[in-house]
């Protein structure tokens, strides 16, 4: 049986193209997800060998979905496939446990090669993501404790992303199976921890830290 792959991207046409490509190379696409939370559920259900995930995923970002996927199934290999070359996204995915990061304009041979590399236990990055950029970012990276991911709890990260995607308090409460009061409490704690005082400020902060991407 070929390598078992799960695709997570919110664009159906893009997923169809990836499926066709991977199947031509003898791989098996076991499931597809259109948002981060669905990806997590399907990974637990199907236990694929590799997850190929976009960063700008709705409901749960690719970075946080990767973190939760690897917490649930540490043996899974995750490859980010994104339009974003920004170092915040690259390092965010690597710190979340991703084994690879490719840009969406990569050629098909690069993607299949990346899958083989990560299955061998190696890290694979698109050539455009130069060592110089990564080393510069690591050298000048702020203290880990200043990161949004270390400041906020997992639930607070989920609530923050949904707020930045334009969900109302009532919609978030319904989606996360929480009371409205609980969501309001989470929002207050998020603002206290980040020293932000509006959803607009929180949205800019979330994008800057790689938690969410409004461009998709």
Q: How far apart are CA 146 and CA 24, in angstroms?
A: 44
CB crowding 18-52: b at 16 or more within 10 Å, else e: bbeebeeeebebbbbbbbbbbbbebbeeeebbbbb
Q: Is 190 exposed, middle or buried (0-12, 13-18, 19+ CB in 10 A)?
A: buried
Q: CA dist 71 to 4, 43, 84, 137, 166, Å? A: 19, 11, 24, 26, 28
pTM: 0.67
Q: Which pLDDT score is estimated for 74?
A: 92
Pick the closest to residue 190 from 170, 214, 216, 209 (CA basis). Answer: 209
Domain ranges of the chain: 4-139, 144-208
pLDDT in tens, the chain (216 residues): 689 999 999 888 889 988 998 999 999 999 999 999 999 999 999 999 999 999 888 888 889 999 999 999 999 999 999 888 777 788 888 889 999 999 887 767 788 989 999 998 888 888 777 664 556 555 665 555 556 556 788 888 888 888 888 888 999 999 899 999 999 999 889 888 888 877 777 777 777 666 665 544
The CATH number assigned to the domain with range 144-208 reads: 1.10.10.10
Q: Token pair for residue 201? A: 């400020």
Residue with tokens 């997992």, as numbered in its chain? 154
- Enumerate residues 6+ apart whose C-beta is below 8 A from 82: 54, 55, 56, 62, 89, 101, 102, 103, 104
Q: Which pLDDT score is estimated for 157?
A: 86
The CATH number assigned to the domain with range 4-139 reads: 3.40.50.2300
DSSP-based helix, strand, coil % in the chain, nearest 5: 55, 10, 35
Query: Positive or negative, the Cα torsion across 169, 9, 51, 1?
Result: positive
């Amino acid at each position: 049986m070929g390598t078992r792959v799960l695709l997570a991207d919110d664009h159906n046409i893009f997923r169809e193209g990836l499926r066709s490509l991977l199947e031509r190379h003898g791989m098996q696409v076991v499931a597809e997800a259109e948002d981060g939370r669905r990806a997590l559920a399907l990974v637990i259900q199907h236990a694929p060998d590799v997850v190929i995930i976009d960063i700008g995923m709705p409901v749960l970002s690719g970075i946080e979905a990767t973190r939760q996927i690897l917490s649930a199934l540490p043996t899974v290999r995750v490859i980010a496939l994104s339009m974003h070359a920004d170092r915040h996204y690259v390092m965010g995915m690597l710190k979340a446990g991703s084994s690879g990061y490719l840009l969406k304009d990569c050629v098909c041979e690069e993607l299949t090669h990346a899958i083989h590399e990560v299955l061998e236990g190696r890290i694979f990055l698109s050539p455009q993501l130069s060592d110089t950029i990564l080393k510069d970012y690591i050298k000048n990276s702020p203290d880990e404790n200043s990161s949004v991911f270390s400041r906020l709890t997992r639930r607070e990260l989920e609530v923050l992303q949904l707020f930045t995607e334009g969900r109302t308090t009532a919609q978030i409460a319904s989606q996360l199976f929480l009371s409205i009061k609980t969501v309001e409490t989470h929002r207050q704690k998020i603002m206290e921890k980040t020293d932000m005082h509006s959803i607009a400020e929180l949205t800019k902060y979330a994008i800057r830290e790689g938690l969410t991407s409004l461009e998709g």
